[in-house]
Structure 1
Amino acid sequence: MRRQQAEARGRQGERIAAWWLRLKGWRILDRRVKTGVGEIDLVAKKGMTVAFVEVKTRATIEEAEAFLEPRTMQRVIAAAEALAPSYAAEGHDVRIDAVLCAPGRRPRHLENIWQGW
């Protein structure tokens, strides 16, 4: 797939993921936040929880989940650690979530995925 197509698919997935999270009561604080160690696709807040969200968009939900690989997760973890002080106050729970997107399927929200890494 050409880079431009992949970029467009990724941005579409991020829009869908943000929409899905808002339907579940989350407020989107930021999108595509870059740090020196990685990028966070979405930063979301619900109650006292701040989630740094990795969005994966592929042909199937299963394929999207397979792309949550250790190298990607290490980058997301490092970026979340760098950004947490900017988005979470004392007493907030901070976690890393993922939203998996595929054409014609409901997004799948995986909560607190960092624990497996």
Structure 2
Amino acid sequence: MMKIKHIFIASFILLNFSCSNDNENSMNSMLWIDSERVSCIDVGEQTCYRIQENDVINENDWLLFYDGIEGFDEQYETGYTYKISVTKIKLKNPPADGSSIQYKLNKILSKELDE
């Protein structure tokens, strides 16, 4: 019985360390995605999202976003402004020519037709 208790305690400790490590490497964030992708140059010419991490959209605060958003790229439609919840994951071994952050869609919070 004592052996099972020790295994349970060791498992619990390891689980807590692995979970806290994940939390240190990821965080949730809210992004605005503009209704049009724009031409941009990274390694080569491509199209980029324009994003903001503000509470409300400020027309002067759009930033170019060179990467994709896992789970969102397939759903994006030109002409709509999106407010989305994402998880930002800090990559342990990022590619030399890429971002050190991976973005994953949690939820589309709003999708409004741009007028």
Please report the TM-score for the alignment, with normalisation by the length of structure 1.
Answer: 0.28
Structure with the larger helix share: 1
More strand by share: 2
- TM-score (structure 2 length as normaliser): 0.28
